[in-house]
Each structure stands twice: as structure tokens, then as C-alpha cells.
Amino acid sequence: MLKRLLNLGILAGALLLLAACGVQQGPSEAALSPQGSLKSMIDVNVVLKADVTPAALDQLAKYGRVKDVLYEIDALTMKIRSGDLAKLQADPVVAAANPDAERTGAPVDTVSVDDFAKGLSTWDLDAINVTDFGFDNRQVAYDGTGVYVAVLDTGLVDSWRQYFPQERIATEYAKSFGGGGGEKGNVSEQPNKWEHDQNSHGTHVTSTILGYSLGGTPVNGVAPMATVIPVKVLNQNGSGWSSVVAAGITYIGDLKAGPLAGSPVVINMSLGGPDLDAMEKAAIDYAISQGVIIVASAGNEGEAGMGYPGAYPPVISVAASGWVGEWTASSWWWAVNVGDPTSPGDFYITDFSSRELPGQDLDVAAPGSWVVGPYQVNSGQTSYYYLGGTSMASPHVAGIVALMAEKDHALTALQAEGILEGSAIYLAPGCRDVLQPNGTSEHFCWDADATGAGLATADAALAATP
């Protein structure tokens, strides 16, 4: 979930970057309408109590038109009259039904190296103890080898090969899903659109997991030898529908049940909305039952509460933390060392990071303030931005989970969540004064509802993984 964005210009070599003068606010992904409608007709996601059968479809036909069916999760999409929603929800074959919920969050030159494990450390990787100051100094024995991380997002930009090694992107499994309640209603596959994104959100998220090339300089990633599966479920504006997200989740569940049965699989979802969608919930349950571990952003709505699917308990949710060393020098993001051992006093919780409301489940926090990565505003022109949001925090934890799964291929979602929470560094409620890009200081305060179990770190999580 994108919240803060600041441009970078490359000056006098790949490592000298200056912030542009302003901060732009990204789209809020939780303050969204829960449904798409056309006159009196609405698109609805339905989960059945039993298998989808011809008899069940006949039963539902009296309410409207069935459009798409996901047999793996006993779910389907329909277009019905808005006045018939309550009747549909009460039908004996229906377990749950709700209006489709909105969700927000051509290849060129290749990167000449196949991983960034010896690349430059950045403040956020230093903060989670994956790397230390400088180059070639990983602090953990694992790099994600053999683990697949599906990034359900906007896909990758055309020039992704200028940022990432080709070997690290599973092009054979990459997929794009489109449609949903706000468009034609039908969820459809869109061949090759996954690598023609115009939004860049998914590219920035991927860069945290794998690392990236910064004008030829390798920058480290949390799990630089993991293999990313790009799954485009958000459109070129960075928004989409829960029916499409559910299709993407189900697709990854099917991969785990099929060709990837012998490999650990993690999903990162830096997206969300205000309500838990029935079809999305069923897809999450299905994927987890196949052995997939799901990580998602907590949301950018502050005191208004968490977004879904992050707030759904089986999902590992991530709040956004920041570092008090931000902006202490022009090169702070790569040239200033985060102190060891990790001190809670060096970190804070951002004001935009969603707080946990009753019935919601916030698990851990990770760096989500001013994270640098590739982000294009002009198609085909490489550029790099500071982004801030729980969208940026989530892939840090997804990467840590990939390292854990490399160590223990049998790691389950429940085990991963327990290890992360049990090994997190408690961040007590409090306040910090933090320097801002314009030279002023901002006062950040938070309560116990903002941190989950605390700050996730790779070394502690790996030590606790059997």
C-alpha cells in the first residue's frame, strides 16, 4: 500500500542520489467503495457450502447470471439485482456472498549478474539484520535459494530486466488477471500483461525481496536468490477487485498443489481494502491448505484500522516502521549504519500505518518508511524512488519468510507466524522525533495497537526456525 513517495535523481555515479523537493501522497487503499454497480445490478462474490454442482448453479440462476467459477474454493461470481443480495445470502446453498470489493496497492537490457547477495546494504536491510554497512556482508546464512515468492500486485514494468536478473523471475509461471466488479465483471487472464505494468508498485515491492541494479551497482535484497512469480491482480492505476485477487491466490495455490509441490511458496500482497471478501477468504484458506504462506500489508489508514486481507488472522500482517537515522545525511539510506545490536529506541511506527482494531490481527512491523527501489514515472525510463507505506514493509517480512522456508522446507503458515511473533523485538508504545526531508522534525507516537509483536528481524527469526 503506497503512502509516501519521493523521487531520486542519480548524480555523479550510481550511488549519489538526491531527494526531490516534495512528498506526494499515494492512493489510500482502504477508503474505498465496497461494491461496483451498474444501474440496479451489482457484481457479487459467492462462496457455497458445498461443491459447485449443476444443481447449485440452477438454484442460483434465479438471482442472476453466474459469470466465473473457481471450483477449487467452491466460489463463483454473479451479476444480480442489488435488491436480491439479502435473498442470495440467505439461500440454503450459500455460505457467504458480498459485493465485489475494491483492492488497491516490452523487455529491454538484462542485468549482468544473477543475484545481488554481494550487493550494497541499505538501511532497511540493515535494520532487519539481513546485511550490515557496505557491500558483501550478509549477516544470515540463507538467501532464499529454492523458494518461490509470488508477488500479487501490479506486475512488472517493461524494463524489469534492467533491474532484476532474468534468472530470478519465473516467467513460466507469471500471470495477469483482470476484470472484476468494477469493469466487465468477468475475471479473465491477460497474456503477457504482467510485464507491461505502467504503475511500478509491483516492481518496487519485488526489489525489496530480490535486490536490484542501481545503474549497474548491485543493491542487496532480503532473499536475493529466491524466485519471484509476478502475478498481476491490480490494474495500471494500482487498484482492482477482490474477485481478481482471489483468482490470483487460487492460481498460486494450484501451483503449490501441482508443479511447485516440492518447493516452498510464499505470497506477498501489498494491497488491501476495508472488508474481508468471502471469495478472497476462501482463496486464502485454500492456498494455505496447500502449504502456501501468505504475507500482506496492514494498511495505511492509521487509527481507522487495518485493511484486508492483512487483518485476516491466517495471514501474516505487517505494520510500517521507520528509523530515527533517516535524512541525517544525503546518502543516509545506504551510507549510514544502523546500530547493532538492534535497539528499539532506534525505531518508530509511522503515523499512516494501520492500527489494530478489535477483531483484527496485526502480527509484526518492518521497515516501511522511505525505502528506495525502482519506480518509473515514464515508461521505459529507469528511475528510483523513496516510497513509504505498509506496501514496502510487507515484502521485508515475505523475504524473511522465504529465508525461513529455505531452512525448513516443511514450514507452515501457522509456524511461520508463531516464529516471527516469538522472535520479534518488542517496540513499546512511545514517541520519537524524526528528521524529515525538508530539514524539520516530525513527532511520531504510537500505542500497543500499532506494532503487533514488534520488529521482525531475519537473524532472530532464522535462529528460532528449527
Share of the chain above pLDDT 70, in %: 89
pLDDT score at 185: 58
**What Cα–Cα distance (Å) separates residue 119 from each residue in 60, 143, 407, 436?**
56, 12, 22, 27
What is the per-residue DSSP string for 106-151?
A: ---PPPSSS--TTSB--HHHHHTTSB-SSBS-BSSS---TT-EEEE
- Burial call 264-292: b when 16+ CB within 10 Å, e when fewer: bbbbbbbbbbbbbbbbbbbbbebbbebbb
Instruction: Answer whether residue 25 shows pLDDT above 90.
Output: no
Eight-class DSSP state of 450: G
Average pLDDT score over residue span 37-52: 85
Instruction: Answer whether residue 172 shows pLDDT above 70.
Output: yes
Report CA Rg, the chain.
21
Say how many residues make up the chain: 466
Cell, residue 195: 510485464
Q: Exactly one of 200, 207, 297, 391 is catalytic; which is it? A: 391
| Intervals of CATH 3.40.50.200 along the chain | 4-28+104-463
Burial group, residue 410, by CB count within 10 angstroms (0-12, 13-18, 19+): exposed
d(CA 321, CA 309): 20
Q: What is the identity of the amino acid at 175?
A: K
- Which of the pair, 82 or 285, is modelled with greater confidence? 285
pLDDT score at 106: 32
| pLDDT band at residue 4 using 50, 70 and 90 as cut-offs | low
Beta strand pairing status for 148-153 and 227-232?
parallel
pLDDT score at 273: 94
- Burial call 342-380: b when 16+ CB within 10 Å, e when fewer: beeebbbbbbbbbbbeeebbbbbbbbbbbbbbbbbeeee
Instruction: Answer whether residue 323 shows pLDDT above 80.
Output: yes
Tens-place pLDDT, residues 404-450: 999 999 999 999 999 999 999 999 999 999 999 989 999 999 999 99
Average pLDDT score over residue span 340-365: 97
| pLDDT band at residue 380 using 50, 70 and 90 as cut-offs | confident
CB atoms within 10 A of CB 177: 26
Helix residue spans in 258-354 (DSSP H): 278-289, 332-335
**What Cα–Cα distance (Å) separates residue 58 from each residue in 8, 72, 243?**
57, 19, 21
100 catalytic, yes or no?
Answer: no
Tens-place pLDDT, residues 101-151: 989 883 333 444 567 889 999 999 999 999 999 999 999 999 999 999 999
Q: Give the chain's mean pLDDT.
A: 89
369 catalytic, yes or no?
Answer: no
Cell, residue 379: 515508461
Instruction: Answer whether residue 171 shows pLDDT above 80.
Output: yes
d(CA 78, CA 76): 7
pLDDT score at 166: 94
Element containing residue 88 per DSSP (H, E): helix 85-90
pLDDT score at 335: 95
- How far out from the chain centre does Cα 30 lie? 14
Phi-psi label, residue 286: left if phi above 0, alpha if psi -120 to 50, beta otherwise: alpha
Eight-class DSSP state of 340: S
Instruction: Answer whether residue 369 shows pLDDT above 90.
Output: yes
Phi-psi label, residue 185: left if phi above 0, alpha if psi -120 to 50, beta otherwise: left
pLDDT score at 295: 98
396 catalytic, yes or no?
Answer: no
End-to-end CA distance of the chain: 32
SS (H, E, C) 419-458: HHHHHCECCCCEEEEEECCCCCEEEEEECHHHCCCCECCH
Q: What is the identity of the amino acid at 438?
A: N
Q: What is the identity of the amino acid at 446?
A: W
| Intervals of CATH 3.30.70.80 along the chain | 37-99
Q: What is the identity of the amino acid at 140?
A: V
- Which segment of 15-24, 76-85, 405-414 scores lowest on mean pLDDT? 15-24
Instruction: Answer whether residue 22 shows pLDDT above 80.
Output: no
- Which segment of 16-25, 202-211, 388-397 scores lowest on mean pLDDT? 16-25
Residue 400's contacts (CB-CB under 8 Å, 6 or more residues apart) are 128, 130, 222, 223, 366, 420, 456, 457, 458, 461
pLDDT score at 183: 55
- Which of the pair, 342 or 29, is modelled with greater confidence? 342
Looking at domain 4-28+104-463, its CATH class is: alpha beta
Tens-place pLDDT, residues 219-271: 999 999 999 999 999 998 889 999 999 999 999 999 999 999 999 999 999 99
Q: What are phi and psi of 308, to 5 degrees?
A: -115, 145
CB 323 within 8 A of CB 352: no
Give the architecture (CATH level 2) of 37-99.
2-Layer Sandwich (3.30)
d(CA 301, CA 357): 11
pLDDT score at 15: 36
Tens-place pLDDT, residues 177-233: 988 875 555 777 777 889 999 999 999 999 999 999 999 999 999 999 999 999 999
Q: What is the identity of the amino acid at 242?
A: S
Element containing residue 374 per DSSP (H, E): strand 371-374
Q: pTM to 2 decimals? A: 0.89
Which residue do the cell numbers 459467492 mark? 46
Instruction: Answer whether residue 14 shows pLDDT above 50.
Output: no
